[in-house]
């Protein structure tokens, strides 16, 4: 795996949190994007070399809605950049990790993504992401 691509934070209200993170980081978000497959609205911030993704549910069935119901707002996942997501999924499965989607799916920000179940990673939801071919 390469660098941390971004950190995902689950929030209840994207507008409120956009203002909060703009104050915190000193920069406005540079992009908002709805990810239909995940039932979320996302908002992205860059701060120095770092990227933060805010995620808010668009429906009660969204994984983010369920997450907030159980655990409240907060750090939701850590995303690592990978060069070859298919090879990385294969490697992690061989190492005994449970990969939630074995076929990479389209995530926000033009990425192919896959998630590792937190129960097999010390409670951390790990996202793999690879720049999607243009
Ligand atoms: Zn993410």
Cα of 95 vs centre of ligand 1, distance in Å, is 22
pLDDT at 69 over 90: yes
The pLDDT value given to residue 125: 96
The pLDDT value given to residue 132: 85
Three-state DSSP string of 13-81: CHHHHHHHHHHHHCCCCCEEEEEHHHCEEEEEEEECCEEEEEEEECCCCCHHHHHHHHHCCEEEEEEEE
Cα of 71 vs centre of ligand 1, distance in Å, is 18
Cα of 96 vs centre of ligand 1, distance in Å, is 22
- pTM for the whole structure: 0.92
The secondary structure of residue 95, as a DSSP letter, is T
Total Cβ atoms within 10 A of residue 131: 14
Mean pLDDT to the nearest integer, 73-92: 97
Cα of 109 vs centre of ligand 1, distance in Å, is 9
The pair of three-digit structure tokens given for residue 94, joined into one six-digit string: 């061989």
The pair of three-digit structure tokens given for residue 92, joined into one six-digit string: 């992690």
The answer to whether the beta carbons of residues 2 and 81 sit under 8 Å apart is: yes
The pLDDT value given to residue 109: 82
Cβ-based burial of 44 (10 A; exposed 0-12, middle 13-18, buried ≥19): middle
The CA–CA distances, whole Å, from 17 to 56, 117, 125 equal 9, 26, 21
């Amino acid at each position: 795996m390469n660098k941390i691509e971004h950190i995902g934070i689950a929030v209840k209200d994207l507008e409120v949190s956009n203002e909060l993170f703009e104050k915190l980081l000193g920069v406005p978000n540079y992009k908002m994007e709805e990810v239909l497959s995940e039932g979320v609205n996302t908002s992205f911030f860059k701060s120095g070399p770092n990227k933060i993704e805010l995620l808010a549910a668009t429906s009660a069935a969204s994984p983010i809605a369920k997450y907030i119901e159980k655990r409240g707002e907060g750090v939701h996942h850590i995303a690592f950049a990978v060069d070859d997501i298919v090879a990385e999924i294969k490697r992690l499965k061989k190492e005994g990790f449970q990969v939630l989607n074995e076929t990479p799916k389209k995530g926000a920000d033009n990425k192919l993504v896959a998630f590792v179940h937190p129960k097999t990673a010390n409670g951390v939801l790990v996202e793999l992401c690879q720049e999607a071919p243009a």
